[in-house]
Amino acid sequence: MPRAHVAAFLALSPAALHSGIMALPPRACAARVSTNRKKSRSMTATAIDSAIFRDIFSTAAMRHIFSDENRVQKYLDIEAALARVQARLGVIPAQAAADIISHCNLAEFDMAGLKAQTERIGYPVLPVVQQLVRLCRDDLGEWCHWGATTQDITDTATVLQIREALALIELDIAAIADALAELAQKYRDTPMAGRSNLQQAVPITFGYKMATILAAFERHKQRLAELRPRALVGEFGGAAGTLSSLGGRGLEIQAELMRELELGQPEIAWHTLRDRIAEVGCFLGLVTATCGKIALDVKLMMQTEVEEVFEPFHEGRGSSSTMPQKRNPISSVYITALAAVVRQHVAALLDAMVEDHERATGPWEIEWIVLPEIFAMSAGALSQTRNLVAGLQVDEKRMRANLDLTRGLIVSEAVMMGLGPYLGRQYAHDLVYDICRQVVATGRPLVELLAENGEIARHLDRAALERLCDPANYLGQAGEMVDRVLAMRRA
């Protein structure tokens, strides 16, 4: 490297050294940085915010809910509601409340200033309050934030975001359930191989397979309905949760504030009891894990050797850069990744529950990091699942062909149970076991070897054996179970 280039290299800041442009000479580096700045005013480092990946791993609607702008507006909505309630109760002057409320509009706030102040102070609420106070005329702004503490506003804003976010989650769950119900109904009686330890087990129906997953999504609907009253509860407790700065009127103000915000009133402060937030995270972990189960089954069923279902077809989707014949699973791959990361983030939320005393030193901030990401990635997983299930392509003929792959071995249990009344269950099991080994060794169909066995032929003729060996005749009560799940939706 020329001496001038060495000197330029040593003069670079650590940020430049980590920017990935050091393979270029200094002038080229400067040109590259300048060009990149012209192309994009802000750099993104995560898949959630990436201009390329963000709508694969998340959704615009969910990102908006957890955006800086929406969060700050939530702080202002709470400050306005608090001023409105306290004026109504005679705690602060009505004139002050009117002035405070008139300025609780994000458009009036300097976001760059909020960033700088938050970095200096360490918390985001006080900078908002400081700007709000300055926006008010005379000294009326001094009545802002009366009796509240930073965590009251922060936690209540988070709960308001959760309420908005759960509404989106609910829509996706309902849409996925609807698509699964259509598949369960349409393929109620379509036989396919049930699988255990990745081996063919006994016949089931594809409708039954879809109905088992549908039942899980119906349970998720119930879980969501049950957790809302526990999770959608605001916080207003003051410094240590006792509302001591408001004399004897704290609980009265708290009740009115929560009524104003349409949130539940806490029975006691929950500044360092984070089960409400953790429960929401655990719920999303359950939902996305169910999406992951769908993705795993689809990936396995899309294998060349199976080919029973396919993801929705779009021109070029799933193609390989080197193998023209490939049709790779795409949504399933993203769902798998998203569900796995959500589960890991849920563990972090559980860590955030272990907090010290009445106001915590660190665990609370874990939520600031992982909760928005949990929701963003859950939205991505649900969106991918919704599209996958709604457009799933099913190959009934291939399902039937795969049932016949083992030349009848998949119905060996049916044969054993059919012979049991004549030969005894254990003896029938051992006899059919030996004949199954002959099927494997010779490649001949099970029904032929059964018909040639003298002991069996004394009790069942060829027609009876063929009925026993037809997978469509050994579906148990799969159809009735599908009907029960569908009926549960209508109840």
Catalytic residues: 320, 359
| Terminal-residue alpha carbon distance, the chain | 76
255 phi/psi in degrees, rounded to 5? -60, -45
In one letter, which amino acid is 431? L
- Judge contact between 212 and 486, C-beta under 8 A: no
- Judge contact between 139 and 181, C-beta under 8 A: no
Question: Positive or negative, the Cα torsion across 434, 439, 445, 449?
Answer: negative
DSSP letter (8 states) at residue 147: T
- Judge contact between 152 and 238, C-beta under 8 A: yes
- Judge contact between 444 and 407, C-beta under 8 A: yes
DSSP letter (8 states) at residue 12: S
- Judge contact between 310 and 389, C-beta under 8 A: no
Closest CA to 262 of 77, 91, 103, 392: 77
What separation in angstroms does the CA of 102 have from each of 86, 141, 145, 283?
15, 11, 15, 38
- Secondary structure (3-state) at 393: strand
Alpha carbons 383 and 378: distance in angstroms, whole number: 8
A 10 A CB-CB count for 468 gives 22
DSSP letter (8 states) at residue 238: -
Q: Tokens 């004399």 identify what position?
A: 247
Closest CA to 158 of 224, 82, 74: 74
